[in-house]
Amino acid sequence: MISKELAKKIRYIQLYTSKAVNDSLAGEYQSVFKGRGMEFDEVREYQIGDEVRSIDWNVTARMGEPYIKRFVEERELTVIFLMDLSASGSFGSTRQLKNEVAAELCALLAFSAIKNNDKVGLIVFTDQVEMFIPPAKGTTHVLRLIRELLNFTPRLAQTNITAGIDYLGRVFNKRGVVFLISDFIGEGFERNMRVMSKRHDLIAVSIADPKEIRLPNIGLVDLEDAETGEQILIDTGSAVIRKTYKKLGVSRQIYLRELFRSMDVDQIEIFTDRDYLLDLVRFFRTRERRSHR
């Protein structure tokens, strides 16, 4: 059983994301994720106009007349959402927490995927993997995925991106499209992520709140690390402190961009005070243009 409030939120997300998919993303998604290529379909007799290089010479030799191999495009993909729901995602200085934005983003991409008859799966991790929903098709499956995300209460607080990556490697061997959704507040995941990027079409979705980059001038503030509980008192009235904080925040964003670029991994930068639909459309269009070069 789910509460009326949760049911209402699921319904809102379904309506909003369905409209966004139909209006903005359906064509963009299909043009970027085209499937794994061509798959063998059948052998048939050669007909005038067929390409000579399609001839299957072994069958032709056995039958005494020319036969060709026929291929069709293998459209179906498997999309995996590797979702970080550690405690740092429970922060938000705007109308939504980072984890709430992550859940809506996941729903939007999942509805785009099933509209193209792709399978969708989910791995949720914190300091370890806490939930796995195997890939499947259909609206009912995506609604279950959204319900589980919105109703999910993590047991652990800290982040271990490597744990999520390693789990994906154990349960999913076929190449797929992987959206790694996280604020990437963690360490030691770079090597494992680089390996995963060779096996899958990996897209890093980095989610940040504007207050993680710029502090307002509001005097003395107690800051607490949501994952470790460590606290620090800072004076936001100090221009030096605000400047140093901003420098650290911007440096972190630059580090992530350069890291993903060095891995040849596409990145979608999401901020909680911006319309993530615009960022998604921009990503799809940029990637499509690049594929036609």
Please check whether residues 108 and 215 belong to one and the same domain.
yes
Looking at residue 58, what is its pLDDT?
A: 87
Same domain, 118 and 164: yes
Indicate whether 161 belongs to any domain.
Answer: yes
| Enclosing H/E stretch for 165 | helix 161-171
Counting the structural domains of the chain, the total is 2
In a domain, 190, yes or no: yes
**DSSP classification of residue 43:** E
Per the model's pLDDT, the better-predicted residue between 17 and 244 turns out to be 244
pLDDT at 75: 56
Task: Please determine, for residue 74, whether its predicted confidence score (pLDDT) is greater than 70.
Answer: no
**Of 57, 72, 87, which marks where a domain is finished?**
72
pLDDT band at 273, cuts 50/70/90? very high
Q: How large a percentage of the chain has pLDDT more than 90?
A: 49
On whether residue 86 sits in a domain, the answer given is yes
For the segment 138-151, the average pLDDT, to the nearest whole number, is 90
Mean pLDDT, the chain, rounded, equals 87
CATH code at 171?
3.40.50.410
Residues 6+ apart with CB under 8 A from 172: 78, 80, 121, 135
Query: What's the pLDDT score for residue 193?
Result: 96
pLDDT band at 35 (very low <50, low <70, confident <90, very high): low
- Residue 3 located in a structural domain: no
% of the chain at pLDDT higher than 70: 91
Tokens of 35: 């499937």
Residue 232 sits in the same domain as residue 114: yes
Q: Are 231 and 114 found together in one domain?
A: yes
The whole-model pTM stands at 0.82
Average pLDDT over residues 31-45: 63
Distance of CA 158 to the CA centre of its chain: 20
94 located within any domain: yes
Name the band, by pLDDT with cuts 50, 70 and 90, for residue 2: low
pLDDT winner (highest mean) among 33-47, 53-67, 72-86, 187-201? 187-201
Domain that holds residue 50: 39-72
C-beta of residue 46 within 8 angstroms of C-beta of residue 67: yes
In a domain, 5, yes or no: no
Does 54 share its domain with 139? no
261 — pLDDT class (breaks 50, 70, 90): very high
Count of Cβ atoms closer than 10 Å to residue 254 Cβ: 10
| Cβ atoms of residues 19 and 111 within 8 Å | no
Q: Write out pLDDT tens, residues 79-130.
A: 999 999 999 998 888 888 999 899 989 988 998 888 888 999 999 999 999 9
**Pick from 52, 72, 92: which residue ends a domain?**
72
Q: Are residues 226 and 278 in the same domain?
A: yes
Same domain, 53 and 198: no
Please identify, among 72, 95, 120, the residue that sits at the C-terminal boundary of a domain. Answer: 72
Which residues neighbour 99 within 8 Å (Cβ) at sequence distance 6 or greater? 85, 89, 90
Mean pLDDT of 261-276: 94
Query: Has residue 66 got a pLDDT over 70?
Result: yes
Report the pLDDT averaged over residues 251-257: 95
Q: Could you tell me whether strands 201-208 and 266-271 are parallel, antiparallel, or unpaired per DSSP bridges?
A: parallel
Question: Is residue 26 in a domain?
Answer: no
Residue 157 shares a structural domain with residue 287: yes
Give tens-digit pLDDT for 171-226.
988 889 999 999 999 889 999 999 999 999 999 999 999 999 999 999 998 888 88
174 lies in the same domain as 241: yes
Residues 54 and 88 in one domain: no
Q: Are residues 100 and 139 in the same domain?
A: yes
**pLDDT bracket for residue 41 (50, 70, 90):** low
pLDDT at 132 over 70: yes
260 part of a folded domain:
yes
Same domain flag for 186 and 265: yes
